[in-house]
Homo-oligomer: A and B are copies of this chain.
Amino acid sequence: MSKQTGPLAPVGLSADAPCCPPLAEQRLPAGTAAVLAPAFKALGDPVRLQLMSMIASAEGGEVCVCDLTPAFDLTGPTISHHLRTLREAGLVDAERRGTWVYYRARPALLRQLAALLTVVPATARRECP
């Protein structure tokens, strides 16, 4: 295969569940767990968590790889590998424009993960307006 192995894995359920399937409210089906666990796993590395943060918080919504690489004491290929992991998890998206490649976050899946983790304990219920 000359091109890509897993370009933009569409995750399968990001489209129809935009906001709130909370984890603490009912037992997670095995299928959903199998789909979402890889996303958590992708965030389970300090380097990738920082990369994700740098991409998500970037001005204009995107970052050049050339700005990401020098922020770590790692080689270019290693950063590229971590970016690919984030890409295959559906957390980011890449686009080449001329010499440089730009990464941007995919908020749909991020929102889904956040909603899943949202715990609303009965003792101290707290709502965002």
Contacts and interface: CB of A to CB of B under 8 A. Distances in A.
Interface of A: 19, 23-28, 30, 33-34, 36-38, 40-50, 52-54, 56-57, 105, 107, 110-111, 113-115, 117-119, 121, 126-129
18 contacts: A23-B53, A23-B57, A24-B53, A24-B56, A24-B57, A24-B107, A25-B57, A28-B54, A30-B50, A33-B47, A33-B50, A36-B49, A40-B41, A107-B121, A111-B119, A114-B117, A128-B128, A128-B129
A46 B27 contact: no
Majority secondary structure, A binding face:
helix
Contacts of A45: 37, 41
Contact of A46 (B23, B37, B118): B37
A23 B52 contact: yes
A117 to B, nearest CB: 4
